[in-house]
Structure 1
């Protein structure tokens, strides 16, 4: 069973472009990169040459005669005489790029030659991406892929564009969802939170319609991540990297969700861990949300790099990391318990990253003013509050009403409630978060 992904349409458009460059698809492991590439290849090419540098390490010698296309295809053919190279109808797939990053240097040759299409893919775990980038600047296109978002999950469950458009219309018009709509989407949202977006996990759930076996797959993925840390994190303290990764759920469960190195090690120094956090972020297995120095535009450059929160880019993996009692509560009793606020915040951070939105929060020193996230339009800063309870949005109201924050005119509240608009606060159910970027864009166009 192939699960439809957003990259499918991107790949079709890529092929239509006569000036297309070799493509590098990057992202964390097990998010469906290889499956999507193979699905596209089978539907669009009569001849496919696929090389996996992990499973077929013999191909690491194909550059022994240099980077010219003729030399590369000659060496591939020497190693496997069944591989054919048909001009203008061959897709060459270099998979597991992190095992042989030097092949990226050959992308310039493939572009100049022009006879064969090339797609590279690899886990960010272990890719020295800065090196790859410098070796092929101007001769490649990058696409960053993530695990399935809520829209892709809805597709997997049989919902169509019509349902997506209807959710957006409710947001745009401020019209509440009907009792049936709200009940169905909230149930689907909870399923998605528990499962996350790893295709292997979603497939098992779709086929069996129960959570049985999904937890085992999620925990295996996390074990694979930690194994990759030990395999690829060269020149860094691997134990520290693993400690940071494992500590994310623990710190999110606290009232103060700012990531504190002292909670890992009382003697921890920031300089000892900065590289570890950067490595995990580059690997695609954590997302870092920075504290703004002041809630105003621009966002980039306006944050304190020493103050941040850390989230998992797949909420299902966060839930899989919880203890057995919490697992039972979530999967059997649908009780989010003490983790409720953390899970909703993590889901929103995940949805932001998958839409290409930056992660920023604000907490005023020695004051109660605090905001979970911010997004921006062309000329406005929009605070976003994630509510796990029915309390009033005190900080959100203060940011909107105060003359001190000239870039802020309205705000968004994501909550376990229906659509509503009041006093400049636009309230949406959590499940609407995946449409936020589109909503902001279309809202600006309609004004």
Structure 2
């Protein structure tokens, strides 16, 4: 019954977040840039990226946004988000008294930062069997706490028909909670991560945080999530496409980069192999918009308007 779930709604997406913080300009600006396929220019891009990083830190949970607006204090926001994570974990014990569901949730950031090509069950708890997790996933998904991307065995329009149900990645449904989970081992005072992330001074590779927020934004747009991996001919390396969406009878591969991306070998190899199936190719990054060699490089704040 619904009253058993304390929180059973999607977090606010970026557009709703802008509206909630009283920014009535940015949405129109981003939509216009997207429609005209134009870069924002230095100062507007910097401002939009800072607002987007603020969204990544606060997330879309109404209580977290309300706390930020009332107190303008990211420590207070982090405390609220820790409370929400605790509530989630309490709720998870209702669907799974053994605590495994909570362990699965807690291990999401470690899984994504480890760059594994699937969710590694033993990262949640040693000795976990795939059947145990498979039984829990439907309840976790219906509680809106996690998003799932399945491996597409055959990357074309009917990806859901040929997904690999035993091979998937998990994301938290809210990026703000993801950040809190990822750095939960630190108390806020020593956790300079917030200010560094906000001012883009964090040296750590934040690709996994961006991957989580892109997953969240694609789900908010009504997409089911799929990804694809293929082996390299010359090494043990796996090429991976972070996300695949479909448009009409074609697919759009999306690669997510944070910081100074150098190349996109996976995207190139994928597009060579499946050229006839592809509608549009995207690299989502933290730089301004550009189009080059048939690829659209879009700043992460444009994803909701794809």
Q: How does the TM-score come out when normalised to structure 1? A: 0.62
- Structure 2 distance, partners of 1:266, 1:168, is 46
Please report how far the alpha carbon of residue 367 of structure 1 lies from its aligned counterpart in structure 2 after TM superposition. 4.7
Alignment of 1:38-117 (within 5 A): 97-99=2-4
1:362 to 219, 228, 238: 228
- Structure 1 distance, partners of 2:273, 2:155, is 12
Q: Does 1:428 align with 2:298?
A: yes
Alignment of 1:320-399 (within 5 A): 320-321=180-181, 322=183, 323-324=185-186, 328-334=191-197, 335-338=201-204, 340-365=206-231, 366-388=236-258, 389-399=260-270
Report the CA distance shift for 1:272/1:172 in structure 2 as closer, same or farther (over 3 A): same
Match of 1:291 in 2: 151
Secondary structure at the residue paired with 1:406?
Answer: helix
Secondary structure at the residue paired with 1:287?
Answer: strand
1:182 to 39, 45, 57: 45
Please report how far the alpha carbon of residue 256 of structure 1 lies from its aligned counterpart in structure 2 after TM superposition. 1.8
- Structure 1 distance, partners of 2:54, 2:77, is 12
Match of 1:271 in 2: 131
2:120 to 229, 240, 260: 260
Please report how far the alpha carbon of residue 359 of structure 1 lies from its aligned counterpart in structure 2 after TM superposition. 0.7
Secondary structure at the residue paired with 1:363?
Answer: strand
- Structure 2 distance, partners of 1:320, 1:263, is 18
Verify the 8 A CA contact 1:253 1:338 in the aligned structure 2: no
Q: Does 1:306 align with 2:306?
A: no
Which sections of structure 2, spanning at least 5 residues, go unmatched? Answer: none
RCO greater where, 1 or 2, for CA within 8 Å and sep 6 or more?
Answer: 2
- Structure with greater Cα Rg: 1
Which sections of structure 1, spanning at least 5 residues, go unmatched? Answer: 1-95, 100-121, 126-144, 437-447
Match of 1:249 in 2: 109
Verify the 8 A CA contact 1:201 1:218 in the aligned structure 2: yes
Please report how far the alpha carbon of residue 276 of structure 1 lies from its aligned counterpart in structure 2 after TM superposition. 1.7
> Can you list the C-alpha shifts for 1:39-85, whole angstroms capped at 9, x where unaligned?
xxxxxxxxxxxxxxxxxxxxxxxxxxxxxxxxxxxxxxxxxxxxxxx
Alignment of 1:4-19 (within 5 A): none
Match of 1:214 in 2: 77
Report the CA distance shift for 1:344/1:246 in structure 2 as closer, same or farther (over 3 A): same
Q: How does the TM-score come out when normalised to structure 2? A: 0.89
Secondary structure at the residue paired with 2:11?
Answer: coil
- Structure 1 distance, partners of 2:121, 2:156, is 28
Verify the 8 A CA contact 1:229 1:238 in the aligned structure 2: no
Match of 1:9 in 2: none
- Structure 2 distance, partners of 1:173, 1:420, is 12
- Structure 2 distance, partners of 1:272, 1:346, is 24
- May I ask how many residue pairs the two structures share in their alignment? 295
Secondary structure at the residue paired with 2:19?
Answer: helix
Match of 1:70 in 2: none
